[in-house]
Amino acid sequence: MKILLTGFEPFGGSEVNPSEQVVRAIARRPPRRVRLATAILPVDQQKGPAALWSAVEQHWPEAVLCLGEAAGRTAISIERVAVNLLDYRIADNAGNQVSDQPIVAEGPAAYFVTLPVRALLTALQEAGIPAELSLSAGTFLCNQVTYVLLHRLHESGRALPAGFIHLPALPEQAARRSPPIASMSLETMERAVRIALETMVRECSRKG
């Protein structure tokens, strides 16, 4: 199964982003039965969504899994909804900070992701990895690229599993906060995403 896996570059003053590190680690040794394509997206209001869709058009995968960092989360967060809202708490890497604007003018208020979210949650929990279902991906770039992806897939009539998973901070990121925040090791996050990819293959095979 051909899957596009994406992460983000560092942002918000951090020198690392766990999503980028996980993508690069898995690209070095993809799971069995996965033909992996990858992309690291810029944290930029214009370039981020464009880079994601460019990767989709380049590879035309059978599924898309996007990853991002959510510092302060205590578990692998499987997002369920992308909302049509830009409301940046901080500026992106290009200095853009927008508030109360739609991602797509006149677009639907929200899209549900098309990943098998309940199966992903069960697989991660059974593997002993802290995981949760999260209602939405927020209002920053993570939500924006997910909404644009789902909107363009809908507009093009392409039905394929697509969605977003948020990762906690790395221990080295958490240690620099005062007070320190929750974190998760890179090894655990990589294992979680491998399990997610394998689950996506299994669930798609069942439906196929």
> Percentage of the chain with pLDDT > 70?
100
pLDDT tens-digit profile of 64-76?
999 999 998 999 9
User: Could you give the CA distance from residue 107 to residue 121 in angstroms, rounded to a whole number?
Assistant: 29
pLDDT of amino acid 80: 98
Here the CATH number for the domain that contains residue 39 is 3.40.630.20
Q: What is the pTM of this model?
A: 0.96
pLDDT tens-digit profile of 93-130?
999 999 999 999 999 999 999 999 999 999 999 999 99
**Domain range spanning residue 192?**
2-207
- Is 166 a residue of the active site? yes
Identity of residue 36: L
Confidence tier at 206 by pLDDT (50, 70, 90): confident
Q: How far is CA 197 from CA 152, 162, 182, 192, in A?
A: 22, 12, 24, 9
Q: Which two tokens stand for residue 17?
A: 């982003």
pLDDT surpassing 90 at residue 205: no
The average pLDDT across 21-43 equals: 97
Residue 79: strand pairing partners: 134
pLDDT surpassing 80 at residue 207: no
pLDDT surpassing 80 at residue 2: yes
pLDDT surpassing 70 at residue 208: no
- Active-site hit among 20, 142, 151, 203: 142
Pick from 42, 120, 117, 131: which is nearest to 82 by CA?
A: 117
pLDDT tens-digit profile of 39-62?
999 999 999 999 999 999 999 999
Q: How far is CA 205 from CA 14, 40, 56, 115, 200, in A?
A: 39, 27, 21, 13, 8
Tally of domains in the chain: 1
- Active-site hit among 20, 66, 69, 79: 79
The number of beta carbons lying within 10 Å of the beta carbon of residue 36 is 18
- Is 79 a residue of the active site? yes
Please state whether beta strands 76-83 and 162-167 pair in parallel, antiparallel, or not at all (unpaired).
antiparallel
User: Could you give the CA distance from residue 26 to residue 198 in angstroms, rounded to a whole number?
Assistant: 12
- Is 204 a residue of the active site? no
pLDDT tens-digit profile of 145-170?
999 999 999 999 988 999 999 999 99
